């Protein structure tokens, strides 16, 4: 018996000194002699628990509590071994038995709380952490874990209190300080987070993780130089720190250093080949470089590594949207919201993709969901306004864009969207003011001249550059303002698109016409400049004061005579047709177009000659006209708008979708019927058959978004009457 006592004492001493192998051998020797020695069974079970041999520990500790059912600590350690095996329900029962046997068993409450937290039973975990602290309020680890679970439950103030109590007990514990810093960072208390991280660095100046976290705060504050500096410090302390390389890449991307950003993300991937976030971030940088296919490849790689990665689905959808692959974009946004149903930005992006497809009601629903999640989301209010405008709900559109502006006063796109709705409603006074914000949008090709912009003041014969912007139709519509600039004493240098130069060369309001320079720099010297579409606002145009309501452009007589030999059939009613605008992936522009085949009902009217004025890819439709239609395809001979004007001068009527040809016919004072989609451009307003801009124009509108059949039926009826009245 004395030998067993001596062996037990020796084993215990080895165990306490950390010599676990010798201790285990001694415990096993005792058990060979006395298999039911409860203290040895307990200690050997505890030793195996320390070594992570959970199966062995569980067996030994079960024997212990069987032999000694009131052994509280044995139940506690059995709970730990069962927890190590992932048998959490059994572990919970064992901890509860330990506590029942010893209500002052701090470790039992603490371990039970940890297990309950692991099971997602956070309220019960909090209750048991607090019971442990009632027994031992000076345990920093318990305060820390209580803070962690409170943080998970978004109980910010209580979590901060727990972390602060832990830090008071263990001031130099960088892990606890780090938890508090991360919590401050999560809830946007960035200055407090910075203070905590700086404290950690005073305690542990080589903490790469803390440099990385501090950099993250600076990045959120848009202090990119400081963020980049601290990411580099993190990497200096730990060169194989993949997360820091990846974060540095993201900060460099935000600073516009795209090439270096790519290098950083690739370095992160080299260090950690299964790093889904790095593949996703690399894709984002490649997308900003315009390398869409490479970006898509990286998003897909991220998703193979992490199939529940909502951000990767969102970014993949963004790339598809930029390529005009809207169906694929919508599908991937929907996958993203299925994974993360409470992320406003994804619903906002989904809305834009749906809107691009013309699925306005679905887009509006998605926008409203985004605003439910993020009521201060200015970008979504702006997009919602645009969608409502396309539905013809102008008051709601103006209100929605206005809310975006209240939230973000310098939001150029919101001002532009509001301007479109105002102009469409006929409120030109406010509309022109808001329309000036177009010059600040990303889509606008900015012209940075040294000379000042003209504000409408007298020019005293000084040269002024008026530069065309946007499309051919816009130039034709607004060139009418040039005589007004000239009347203010300006020597007008007009810079416009090459296909319009010959048409406008002798225009009364132009002293000198020049071609747009691809480099953006005009060849002439001037004292001031003004964008063409700013002139209506400068002159305070209202619906009642639109200048040059009649014919203000003339066709060249020589060219007209030339084309009269081709299309001047005096015995028939000569009709020019245009059925498509320029090619575009944008559904708004796409919906302005129809096909030549849509005009087939017009063949039922006798006495008509049709002439195709169509240019671009859609012109080939004239080679295969609808059955019964004879159409003269003039497109190939129309070298510029001077030719087109000469042809129109010889026609009785032009029927066109919303294109530059419709504007040209109106500017020439020729009869023109313009076919408009349900959601028209602002200049055509709503529910009108006449145009305030062109007295000889008649508007035929879609009554819904279903297509052109009803429009062509009304055109056919009107055209038959027109021919019969001749």
The pLDDT value recorded for residue 585 is: 53
Three-state SS sequence of 151-183: HHCCCHHHHHHHHHHHHHHCCCCHHHHHHHHHH
Query: How many whole angstroms separate alpha carbon 315 and alpha carbon 648?
Result: 48
Dist. CA 651–CA 87, nearest whole Å: 88
DSSP assignment of 621-639, as one string? GGGSPPTT--EEE-GGG--
Q: Which range has the worst mean pLDDT, 61-75, 159-173, 354-368, 573-587?
A: 573-587
Run of H or E including 220: helix 208-220
Domain match, 424 and 476 both:
no
Do residues 703 and 575 both lie within one domain?
Answer: yes
Q: What is the CATH number of the domain that holds 706?
A: 3.40.50.2000
Inform me whether the pLDDT recorded for 371 exceeds 70. Answer: yes
In-domain check, residue 344: yes
Query: Coil, strand or helix: which one is 257?
Result: coil
Which residues does residue 713 pair with via DSSP β-bridges, in sequence order? Answer: none
Q: Looking at the domain assignment, is residue 508 inside a domain?
A: yes
Look at residue 142 and tell me whether its pLDDT is greater than 80: yes
Is pLDDT at 291 greater than 60 in this prediction? yes
Q: What are phi and psi of 466, to 5 degrees?
A: -105, 120
Judged by DSSP in three states, 701 sits in strand
**Which CATH number does the domain housing residue 414 bear?**
1.25.40.10
The percentage of residues in the chain with a pLDDT greater than 90, rounded to a whole number, is 90
**631-633, strands of its sheet edge to edge:** 631-633, 608-612, 573-578, 653-657, 672-676, 697-701
Percentage of residues of the chain with pLDDT beyond 70: 98
Mean residue pLDDT of the chain comes to 94
Residue 187 is assigned to a structural domain of this protein: no
- The reply to whether 248 falls in a domain is no
- Residue 428 resides in a domain: yes
Q: Give the helix/strand (H/E) hosting 491.
A: strand 491-496
Residue 281 belongs to a domain: no
Are residue 12 and residue 89 in the same domain, yes or no? yes
pTM over 0.75: yes
Any domain includes 8: yes
Q: Could you tell me if 683 and 477 are in contact, meaning their C-beta atoms sit under 8 angstroms apart?
A: yes
pLDDT (tens digit per residue) in 559-587: 999 999 888 667 789 999 999 987 665 55
CA dist., res. 416 & res. 432, Å (int): 10
Q: Which two tokens stand for residue 548?
A: 């040059």
Query: Per-residue pLDDT for 519 more than 80?
Result: no
Q: Are residues 501 and 572 in the same domain?
A: no
Expressed as residue numbers, the domain containing 660 is: 557-724
Residue 679's φ and ψ, nearest 5 degrees, are -105, 95
Residues 562, 700 within the same domain: yes
CA dihedral 75, 77, 80, 85 (to 10 degrees): -90
**Residues 402-444 pLDDT 10s:** 999 999 999 999 999 999 999 999 999 999 999 999 999 988 8
Res 683 pLDDT > 90: yes
Q: Are residues 502 and 651 in the same domain?
A: no
Q: Residue 126: is its pLDDT beyond 70?
A: yes
Tell me, yes or no, whether 328 and 470 share the same domain. no
Do the domain assignments include residue 445?
Answer: no
- Give the separation between CA 526 and CA 362, rounded to whole angstroms: 50
Are both 366 and 491 inside the same structural domain?
no
Q: Give the C-alpha distances (Å, rounded to integers) separating 413 from 337, 383, 385, 587.
A: 26, 9, 11, 19
Angle, in degrees to the nearest 10, between helices 224-237 and 208-220: 170
Tell me the CA distances in angstroms from 688 to 234, 424, 652, 700, one per residue in order.
65, 11, 23, 9
> 476 and 327 share a domain?
no
Q: Are residues 531 and 563 in the same domain?
A: no
219 close to 254: Cβ distance less than 8 angstroms: yes
Backbone φ and ψ for 463, nearest 5 degrees, come out as: -70, 135
Q: Each residue of 64-99: pLDDT tens digit?
A: 999 999 999 999 999 999 999 999 999 999 999 999
Among 136, 165, 192, the domain boundary falls at 136
User: Alpha-carbon Rg of the chain, whole angstroms?
Assistant: 38
Same domain, 489 and 430: no
Query: Do residues 425 and 688 lie in contact, with contact meaning Cβ atoms separated by under 8 Å?
Result: no
Residue whose token pair is 């004025």: 613
Q: With cut-offs at 50, 70 and 90, classify the pLDDT of residue 300.
A: very high
Domain count of the chain?
4
350 and 469 share one domain: no
- Going by pLDDT thresholds of 50, 70 and 90, the confidence category of residue 705 is low
| Distance between CA atoms of residues 496 and 502, nearest Å | 11
């Amino acid at each position: 018996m004395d030998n067993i006592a001596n062996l037990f004492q020796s084993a215990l001493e080895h165990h306490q000194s950390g010599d676990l192998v010798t201790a285990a051998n001694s415990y096993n020797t005792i058990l060979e002699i006395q298999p039911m020695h409860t203290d040895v069974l307990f200690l050997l079970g505890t030793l195996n628990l320390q070594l992570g041999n959970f199966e062995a520990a569980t067996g030994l500790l079960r024997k212990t509590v069987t032999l000694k059912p009131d052994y509280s600590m044995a139940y506690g350690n059995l709970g730990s071994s069962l927890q190590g095996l992932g048998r959490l329900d059994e572990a919970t029962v064992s901890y509860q038995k330990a506590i029942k046997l010893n209500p002052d068993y701090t470790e039992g409450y603490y371990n039970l709380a940890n297990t309950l937290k692991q099971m997602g039973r956070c309220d019960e975990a909090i209750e048991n952490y607090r019971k442990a602290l009632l027994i031992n309020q000076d345990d920093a680890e318990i305060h820390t874990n209580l803070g962690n679970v409170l943080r998970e439950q978004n109980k910010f103030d209580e979590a901060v209190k727990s972390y602060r109590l832990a830090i008071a007990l263990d001031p130099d514990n960088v892990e606890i300080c780090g938890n508090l810093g991360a919590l401050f960072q999560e809830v946007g208390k960035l200055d407090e987070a910075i203070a905590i991280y700086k404290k950690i660095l005073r305690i542990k100046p080589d903490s790469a993780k803390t440099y990385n976290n501090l950099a993250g705060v600076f990045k959120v504050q848009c202090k990119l130089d400081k963020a980049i500096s601290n990411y580099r410090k993190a990497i200096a302390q730990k060169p194989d720190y993949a997360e820091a390389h990846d974060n540095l890449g993201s900060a460099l991307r935000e600073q516009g250093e795209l090439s270096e950003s790519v290098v950083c993300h690739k370095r992160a991937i080299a260090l950690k080949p299964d790093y889904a976030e790095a593949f996703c971030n690399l894709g984002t940088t490649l997308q900003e470089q315009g390398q869409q296919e490479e970006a898509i490849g990286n998003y897909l790689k991220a998703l193979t590594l992490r199939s529940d990665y909502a951000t990767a689905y969102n970014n993949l959808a963004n790339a598809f949207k930029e390529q005009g692959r809207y169906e694929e974009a919508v599908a991937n946004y929907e996958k993203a919201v299925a994974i993360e149903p409470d992320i406003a930005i994804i619903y906002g992006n989904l809305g834009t993709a749906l809107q691009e497809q013309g699925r306005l009601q679905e887009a509006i629903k998605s926008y409203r969901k985004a605003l439910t999640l993020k009521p201060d989301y200015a970008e979504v209010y702006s997009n919602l306004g645009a969608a409502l405008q396309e539905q013809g709900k102008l008051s709601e559109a103006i209100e929605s864009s206005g809310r975006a502006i209240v939230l973000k006063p310098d939001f150029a796109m919101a001002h532009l969207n509001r301007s479109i709705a105002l102009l469409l409603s006929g409120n030109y006074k406010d509309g022109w003011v808001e329309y000036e914000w177009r010059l600040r949008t990303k889509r606008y090709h900015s012209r940075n001249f040294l000379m000042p912009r003209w504000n409408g003041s007298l020019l005293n014969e000084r040269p002024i550059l008026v530069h065309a912007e946007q499309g051919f139709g816009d130039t034709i519509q607004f060139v009418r303002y040039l005589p007004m600039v000239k009347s203010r004493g300006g020597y007008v240098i007009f810079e416009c698109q090459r296909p319009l130069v010959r048409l406008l060369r002798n225009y009364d309001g132009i002293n000198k016409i020049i071609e747009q320079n691809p480099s953006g720099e005009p060849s002439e010297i001037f004292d001031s400049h003004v964008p063409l579409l700013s002139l209506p606002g400068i002159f305070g145009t209202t619906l009642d004061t639109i200048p040059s309501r009649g014919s203000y452009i003339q066709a060249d007589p020589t060219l007209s005579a030339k084309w009269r030999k081709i299309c001047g059939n005096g015995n028939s009613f000569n009709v020019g047709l245009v059925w498509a605008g320029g090619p575009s992936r944008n559904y708004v522009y796409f919906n302005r177009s129809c096909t030549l085949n849509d005009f087939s009902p017009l063949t039922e009217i006798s006495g008509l000659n049709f002439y195709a004025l169509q240019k671009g890819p859609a012109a080939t439709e004239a080679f295969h006209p609808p059955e019964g239609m004879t159409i003269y395809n003039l497109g190939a001979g129309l070298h510029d708008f001077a030719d087109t004007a000469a042809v129109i001068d010889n026609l009785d009527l032009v029927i066109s979708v919303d294109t530059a040809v419709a504007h040209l016919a109106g500017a020439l004072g020729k009869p023109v019927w313009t076919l408009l989609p349900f959601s028209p451009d602002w200049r055509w307003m709503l529910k009108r058959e006449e145009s305030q801009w062109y007295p000889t124009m008649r508007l035929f509108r879609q009554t819904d978004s279903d297509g052109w059949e009803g429009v062509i039926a009304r055109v056919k009826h009107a055209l038959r009457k027109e021919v019969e009245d001749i």
